[in-house]
Structure 1
Amino acid sequence: MKRMFSSFLLLGLLSGTANANTSIYGFIEGYVEKVESSPGISGGTDTTGGTFTRNENAHEFQTPNVRLMVKNSKKNYSSFLNLNASSGNVETTNAWFEGKVASNLFKIRIGKMYRKFGLYNERLDAVPTYIGIEAPELFDTDHLLVTRTTNLMFHGEKDLGDGTFYYALTTGNDERAGSEIPLGGDLRYTMYGDDIEWTFGSSFYISGKATPTQDVGAASPDGGVVNYMKEDRFEVLGFYTELKRKALIFQAAYYQADHNAVRDGSKLSGDSFDTASLTQSQINRLCNGNMDTCTDSEANYKIKTWYIRTGYSFFTKMGEFVPYIQWDYYENPEALANKKNGGDNEAGLADDGKFNKQTVGMVYRPDPTIAIKIDASNHSQDINGESVNYAEVRGSFSYMWTFK
């Protein structure tokens, strides 16, 4: 498979360079973050939950991400390559080929691609183009609802006069177990009028039998299946909207994932599973009060998340200024605090698996290809029966470049 992708990429680049319909462009991004003393749980054992702590955090610089994108089109065919260089590594995030079967009404895309799923999944690499720095919690890599990428997409669009209808159906390796065929989809309608563009949409996903993509002790899951599960079957359904009216932009979305999983007792009792950050209620839920004697158990739970984002552009001689506000909500009663266990350090700390995040910020664009962003967030959740808050401040610089 890797050799096939390598050959595909090389041929795409060589053929694309000689073709007049080739675009070569990319993004460069730098990022810095400072988190106030944040809550944590430590000192837990196999039978006793840990105690609440406050952790001091140094400011953190993210190694600049450099993205190279090559898009080529010729008649009814197109291809796309997206490479990301960060921390000394180069990753192929997208590499696909697409053919039109019936003009724009029916197209087939195959390779590795971001699935069409809501407003942001295909946008997140284009940092200068959207308001905000962090992705909505829906697309936070600590707790993804589904894998961001897949392998096969049937999609198209139809002009309906006052607007355009778009659809997409996807499937791929995802997190499937064996010969399962996971199915994803996205339907949206964009209405156009005088100084207005309004999109309404819905996304869904049906996993079939799925298994974890990461081992316990490795990293956060690549999709919806938690590391310590033996198997999972889950469905996701969400709705979203985006309104653009003159200088105003407003976005909102709600998603829910219903999981019917089986915890793997051998993983929970294994040496790779960290018990130090567990609360007493989590120990009781996972293994009936003793992490050393875990057995397989059912885990039926719902994940709920929503966000609201809005901003307003002011155009001046110095450039464009976009103040914005955001509110994110995330709820996952199965979440644990340790990322390497398959959890996250936000919902996993909360007594009920819930947290809110409010953000205010500003985007400054001296040029359409440059975005300087700064924002601040407040996290709020209940831990050990008390309401706990902490803040974080971020800054981001991004630049879009093109090669002609």
Structure 2
Amino acid sequence: MSTDNDWITTPITRDLLRGALDVERTEHGLLPHRLPARARAQNTDGQLAMAESQPSGVRLALRTRATALELDTLPTKRVYAGAPPRPDGVYDLLVDGRPAGRGSVDGGNTVTLDMTTGTTAFEPGPVGTLRFTGLPEGSKTIEIWLPHNETTELVALRTDAPVDPAPDPGRRVWLHHGSSISQGSDAASPTTTWPALAASLGGVELVNLGLAGSALLDPFTARAMRDTPADLISVKIGINVVNHDAMRLRAFAPAVHGFLDTVREGHPTAPLLVVSPLLCPVHEDTPGPLAPDFTGLGEGRLRFVAMGDPAERASGRLTLNVIRDELARIVAQRTADDPNLYHLDGRALYGEADAAELPLPDDLHPDAATHRRIGERFAELAFTGHGAFAG
């Protein structure tokens, strides 16, 4: 093992990162963001601010002969009042594209959320250190995937050999936007969220704009996607619109058209895949809003229930089935002028048979095994055969 005198400290700069749209210099180090500063300035929602600063799909990518490394970070961990502590965020280590280690960082800031009152409390904490040793000899590409569900400030990088930014792998870039399911809620680690798994199977570079609770057809998100270089693009639309009860059918269709129009301004011919919601039984035919069920919170169990009235679909209230029909109609309408626009029914990724075998633990989010199934299904349907991203 290297001694303290053997370590080389490398400044953490943007050129060592992949998957981030922006970085912010803080008093501690470098904070990756998944929305650019202009978009963040137009947002007033704390949920989105938290989600976009959680670096799902963001990774350090290094070329080095190092056999040991240390990464100092300042995580911000979430605590739910009245619930058992959440597990620490997970970092995944890849060496030449293959899993080579996994770890977490102690310490860090904590944000305590009281879901019964909607209040939060912040408590600062110390920087922690992630260590990997015994790495293979020789020159190699190392990727450290940051926790998909834990805001992470990068403070210092130490290795026992010099480090350079990893060269561009020359692969197609896949830009994806969706909800907490796309961000990776309840996945086991950052490389096992369904988009990360699909990207690995499809041989592409992922930029993940899965934003927990925040896939709401926001214009600033569409502009961020418009301005982000990408070869392949997908948007997964619906679940957040329903569980926020954010709009009615009259507003939904023009919002979808506007979102797609904006993306197309920057990517006029890239394959663009519109994905409708996965099966979610509580919202199939019942509108939102969605509300938490706190009865099992003390035992670490949180479930969700839909509060809307199914009868109000007639007046334009949205359900997942209504949204699926509308998205299919919109894509069919647009393809006459946009031959590179595609549609995928989300139930092909997770449908009734899957729900019977792998039910959603909280009635909303898939578990680790289900993330794997969704990722494998997406890779097969999108990246092979006549899929939108094949070739």
State the TM-score, normalizing by the size of structure 2.
0.26
Structure with more of its chain in strand, by fraction? 1
State the TM-score, normalizing by the size of structure 1.
0.25
Please tell me whether Structure 1 or Structure 2 has the larger radius of gyration of its CA atoms: 1
